[in-house]
Structure 1
């Protein structure tokens, strides 16, 4: 019986692997496509593939190339080759006229680099430096706002305030507030604490206390809110790809406290680095089928998400495609 069970398991894994490797071309896939400004890797892939997240497979990319892709720029031409057993894409660079294969290339980049991004900049710029998950008490020793110059209770953009100093040379700050605990819905483990992003500030007079100018505010700022260096940079440059291992998780929060998340909304899932997730991983979202007259219905796939920020126990992901709203406790699994 044990051998039979193992055989079934191996057969299932082989079937899953075969399905994951299958490249399904769009019915009207072009043979050539010229990249234009505003395109994304996801958009371009979707022109050729029914499953846009299989972008690395149609390019024949390895893991290093997924993490450090050769950038594609407007004017480059993507060419589809279906002459072999497996369809493949190649690239004609606009400045050379020669067909090239993607290859690893590390280069310093920022989010507004001219190269084609994995996902729309407009969708991720709003979140790229904002979501944080920290351990309990991680902000206890961070500089804090003491009061406004005019003893106002609530602060906003353009206001000045006094704040403590950490003795560093930092002059550009994010304004943060400790938020709710993120709790695993199944194990009840505390996975971390969300930190609310409130805005930005700049030191205008050094000292302890220092005087700061609030340069941007996304919500009301109060005394005791914390400061964290804004000099840290973050750039999402991974290619969309499937996780290397099996992922079974749940949606545990939506950015901004939303009950439902639509396309390009940020959600939080209860899986992170310890579970093998990495930036660029694509997951499918499923809704619980429930029961009708005592009969358990199958879960229904409702969309795709892409992980763009990974912490030890949780990850932030962007809803890429959905045919219905994503809700708390929806399942996330390998696509």
Structure 2
């Protein structure tokens, strides 16, 4: 180890010691452990402003969940969504939880397994801290310790694995994008259906052949068809949902054909060679290739939208035949980036009230039943006019046409 690196570590752990002396040793270790500083997560200015206001005194006791523990040891596999729901009646209000522990936990994403959270109550308000005193003088009775796993509580769960398969799959395109995309011609064995590990041959359009080289895409996603997404309110086509099949890597460029002359015979075009990666369904000739998007960090920290939302369910992802969606399934809604939708926004799902005949009335008029709260969903991927929502919790199946709005 060099002297410079030793001095760097000494500086980091010296600052950690100061935090530890203030009662935040666990946090200090997390903040100044090697590599911890590279973990940066986006926090909006609005969220920070809300947290700064709340941090002065915490949240009213009436906002706490009925069984909010006085002490909780963070366990591996816990998420901010679970912990927020453990302490708050409305778990999507994560800025309040962040504000509650602002002095000890500068960023809620740094809460980690083994860390102990203490609920400090004072003057009708509550906040979290990483030391029993909470940096304020508070007389506390024997704490009620909650030791069971968060998985045993009836709280909404936001497991990254639940949305990981959908981060790259849904794709909204216009009508011509797939039609003009490179298409699969055949496989090495001329199979009709292909699977992972097979080599496939594909050709691009005449003005955009599949070529290896600097600035050229090498990794592709494979899609089929393009299901139109129709707005249930206006009937307008919002875009076309390409059906995701799998991944492929370009191994060899395609060679265009040449016209024959008196001296040389004509040469047929030679398609590009690709190798199939992980596939979700069998791939066949005629399927289309689109460049794989760069993987970007997406902030899935749950929060309520800061603008009014009035959205409708357009479709259930995965099959054109599905009309109802269950928990942990993905739905498309008729609001997108242009409407202020962002990844991480939590929406209330309302079941659409039926229109029925009032048989007790002699005139037998038609009556519109009100919409009823059915559950919660979270936006995790947005396009210009469409967003995808993961259903976190529901009481009854979600149907096309159901309403989504900001939670209350």
Whether 2:350 is the aligned partner of 1:306: answer: no
Per-residue CA distance 1:51-94 (angstroms, 9 max, x = gap): 21112223239xxxxxx8643322223332332554333456xx
- Specify which structure has the higher proportion of strand: 1
- Specify which structure has the higher proportion of helix: 2
Residue in 1 that maps onto 2:246: 199
Residue in 2 that maps onto 1:235: 297
Residue in 1 that maps onto 2:394: 322
CA contact (8 A) 1:69 1:238 kept: no
The SS at the match of 1:138 is: helix
Residue in 2 that maps onto 1:137: 176
Per-residue CA distance 1:6-31 (angstroms, 9 max, x = gap): xxxxxxxxxxxxxxx98632211012
CA contact (8 A) 1:282 1:305 kept: yes
Alignment of 1:9-88 (within 5 A): 24-60=63-99, 70-88=109-127
| CA drift at 1:261 | 1.4
| CA drift at 1:34 | 1.7
Task: Tell me the distance in 1 between the aligned counterparts of 2:375 and 2:279.
Answer: 32
Task: Tell me the distance in 1 between the aligned counterparts of 2:134 and 2:164.
Answer: 32
Unaligned regions of 5+ residues in structure 2, if any?
Answer: 1-58, 101-106, 136-156, 204-208, 256-270, 359-365
TM-score of the pair, normalised by structure 1:
0.78
Query: Given the alignment, which residue of 326, 344, 368 partners 1:280?
Result: 344
Structure-2 change in CA distance of 1:135 and 1:81 (3 Å)? farther
Unaligned regions of 5+ residues in structure 1, if any?
Answer: 1-20, 62-67, 101-117
Query: Given the alignment, which residue of 214, 227, 233 partners 1:180?
Result: 227
Residue in 1 that maps onto 2:4: none
Structure-2 change in CA distance of 1:331 and 1:153 (3 Å)? same
Residue in 2 that maps onto 1:11: none
Higher relative contact order at CA 8 Å, sep ≥6: structure 1 or structure 2?
A: 1
Report runs of 4+ in structure 1 exceeding 4 Å deviation.
97-100
Number of aligned residue pairs: give it.
Answer: 288
| CA drift at 1:158 | 2.1
Task: Tell me the distance in 2 between the aligned counterparts of 1:90 and 1:173.
Answer: 47
Bigger shift: residues 81-90 or 244-253: 81-90
Structure-2 change in CA distance of 1:98 and 1:213 (3 Å)? farther
Per-residue CA distance 1:153-177 (angstroms, 9 max, x = gap): 2212222111124335433221112
Task: Tell me the distance in 1 between the aligned counterparts of 2:182 and 2:134.
Answer: 53
| CA drift at 1:253 | 0.7
CA contact (8 A) 2:211 2:252 kept: no
